[in-house]
Amino acid sequence: MHTEVANRIRKPTIMNRGSLGPNLKLTVPAPDQVFLTESATFREGDLLVNKYGVRIISQNEVEALPPIKAKDNQLSLEDIVAIKVVGKGSGGIVQLVQHKYTNQFFALKVIQVAIDEPMRKQIAQELKINQSAQCPYVVVCYQSFYLNNVISIVLEYMDGGSLEDFLKKVKSIPEAYLAAICKQVLKGLTYLHHEKHIIHRDLKPSNLLINHRGEVKITDFGVSAIMESTSGQANTFIGTRIYMSPERINGFQRGYNYKCDIWSLGLILLECATGRFPYTPPDQGERWENVFQLIEAVVESPPPSAPPDQFSPEFCSFVSACLWKNPKNRWSAQELLRHPFINMYEDLDVDLSAYFSNAGSPLATL
């Protein structure tokens, strides 16, 4: 059974990414019907989602085009079968699902829609980013649906799980593999920051997914922000606090920009290299008393660094470039792609595919 499933997972992708515009029939609700309408459509601003899919509408648009059908080679909720739950969070669950007709696997993120406006806006933002982001280093979103008060997001299935899962297995990651992993993450961040003007705001090991092909992709845009430009500022205090940059913790009223993601990347790299989170409690071996004690350390203490007696000068320099407390001094994703650390191991045959596969996929035993 396990071998059969593993072989099916490795089949080439044959399902096209959902067509997110021209072939959906979504009736536009009246302006005062901003949440749940008689047509079973979720609306938030210019975003519409129903059982046929998702659509961004113009101000004067009244009706879209015909609905998705199975014969159009598009996804439908009726055509996928749930296999098992592979992830849980405060916002919902993630299921491994399979398409009935192609046997292709997907990850289905299921979110129970809340009535409160902030949650609706957060869901709408995630759906918009999923729809617009098309990059080899960002997890593919094939389609999204709204039915029975539930948002269902059909995502690319990454069969290696998250970098967090992987780190639990291997305990620490050698520099050569870290450089290859980081290069892919930086390409994803370059796309998000400089092409789409998106700040992820929740970059952490559990939001970096891997697969047996050696690919590393960014996922989960539930708390991301879309800026007007690359130099845009945000000022919302959301995201996972332990990976949050000092300027977000200490001075978010003055705003922050995409370089807060670079700080998070620096902490992730150090954690992967050493096998432990970079900020250690005052009493070695003890736990932080609470998250506020930890974030006080992030703000007040010098930034963490890679031990020079354990790592190469290039790696130490790279981490320091990510962890400047002043974001003006912190390098951008584009600049970091040119850092010597990223390319110093290219002469070696660094095979991420074999490295990930040999550790064993946390989701392979279905």
**How many C-alpha atoms does 146 have within 13 Å on its Cβ side?**
24
From the list 169, 212, 155, 167, the residue with the least C-alpha distance to 6 is 212
Q: How many angstroms from the chain centroid is the CA of residue 255? A: 22
Q: Spot the catalytic one: 159, 202, 220, 261.
A: 202
Assign 3-state DSSP to the chain and report helix, strand, coil percentages, each to 5. 35, 20, 45
Q: Which residues have a Cβ under 8 Å from the Cβ of 118 and sit 6 or more positions away? A: none
Whether 206 contacts 162, CB under 8 Å? yes
Distance from C-alpha of 347 to C-alpha of 324, rounded to nearest angstrom: 30
Query: Active site includes 79?
Result: no
Q: Is 109 annotated as a binding residue?
A: yes
What are residue 195's phi and psi, to 5 degrees?
-100, -40
Cα→Cα distances 350→100, 175, 214, 305, 306, Å? 37, 10, 10, 25, 22
| Residue the block writes with tokens 């005062």 | 32
**Any bridge partners for residue 211, and if so which?**
none
What angle is formed at CA 112 by the lines to CA 110 and CA 116, rounded to 5 degrees? 140
Kindly compute the dihedral angle of the four CA atoms of residues 222, 227, 228, 233, in this order, to the nearest 10 degrees. Answer: 150
Q: What is the DSSP string of 252-266?
A: GGG-B-THHHHHHHH
Whether 39 contacts 50, CB under 8 Å? yes
Whether 189 contacts 200, CB under 8 Å? yes
Catalytic residue numbers? 202
Binding residues, as ranges, are 109
Binding residues for ATP, by number, are: 109
